[in-house]
Amino acid sequence: MQTASTSTPLPRTDPDARVRRGKPRSAAHYAVRRFLRQRLALVGLVIVGFLIVTGFGAPLLAPTGYAEANLMEANQFPTRAHPLGTDTIGHDFLSRVMYGTRTSLMVGFAAVGVALAVGVPLGMIAGLRGGFADFAVMRLVEIMTAFPGLLFAIFLMTVLGPGVGNIILVIGITSWVTICRLMRAQLLTLREQEYVTAARCLGATDLTIAVRHLLPNAVAPVIVAITLAIPTAIFAEAGLSFLGIGINEPTPSLGKMVADSASYIRVFWHLGLFPTVAIALIMLGFSFVGDGLRDALDPRQV
């Protein structure tokens, strides 16, 4: 007697499915995923994106040029024709705020760029070479720390004079200390790793080790520091312009707008409110993004 043998067909499998499921993910993938899970960071990213588009797109988006004025329409409150009103000489205030935002963002990005150009090389020299180089760099850092940043910036601005280029240079050379210390601390830790010893055994120079091995591994905390340094630079520019030694007319500046509104704020409230709100949004947006990047780039986070 023969029994019919029944065999269950094996499920068909995609030969690439197992490979796809087991495909390793990069650290950047997990960092982006952690960043997107943070609501405040996303809010900050939206705010920063809106301000960048509004500021740098001001020549295309603004109703008028920042220097166009009509004395017959001076000191108007917000209307349909002028959504943010006009100032004391008839400038459309929406256009002025947009161009002032562009000035603030330009100063913030450029000043942090100057700080990076000074702080990163000095921090890498101090952290990688050690010895006399570390001693010299840290003594320079201590000298810069001894001077109050704002007072030192005021002194330099009185020597150099007002202007966008001068204020970028002054803020940059007074804010590199934090980045230098951070880079030095990162390299002091990373230079003891096994891959650095292996690179030295293979004949790599200090410059090659710093650029190809150490800098990529130290870039995460530096990115966070940059994000938090940009609003600090913008706030410094607003403070210097408020004091009258930063950016002068006809170039619009949010800090200068707030300073000019001091005499009229009790009556023409919009002259001080809208530039202040713009500064607050810049600070808030970059702070949220910086906090989100700090958590997203932390490998200890799940």
| pLDDT single digits (tens) 131-186 | 888 889 999 998 888 888 788 888 888 888 888 888 999 999 888 888 999 888 88
**Residue 155 pLDDT:** 87
**pLDDT tens digits, residue range 77-110?**
888 888 888 888 888 888 999 999 999 899 989 9
Q: What is the pLDDT of residue 16?
A: 45
Q: For 298, how many CA atoms within 13 A lie in the half-sphere containing its CB?
A: 9
For the chain, what is the largest distance between any 2 Cα atoms, rounded to a whole number of angstroms?
A: 112
With 0-12 / 13-18 / 19 or more C-beta atoms within 10 angstroms meaning exposed / middle / buried, residue 59 is exposed
| List of residues 6+ apart from 206 with CB closer than 8 A | 128, 129
Q: 34-90 pLDDT, tens per residue?
A: 888 888 889 999 999 999 999 999 889 888 888 888 888 888 888 888 888 888 888
Q: What domains, with CATH codes, occur in the chain?
A: 27-66+82-296 (1.10.3720.10)
Round to whole Å and give the CA distance between 104 and 172.
14
pLDDT score recorded for residue 194? 79
Residues with Cβ within 8 Å of 56's Cβ and at least 6 positions away in sequence, in order, are 102, 105
The rounded radius of gyration (Å) of the Cα atoms in the chain is 27
Whole-angstrom Cα distance, residue 295 to residue 302?
A: 10
Contacts of 55 (CB under 8 A, 6+ apart): 98, 99, 101, 102, 103, 104, 105, 106
CB 180 within 8 A of CB 141: yes
Q: Is the pTM of this model over 0.85?
A: no
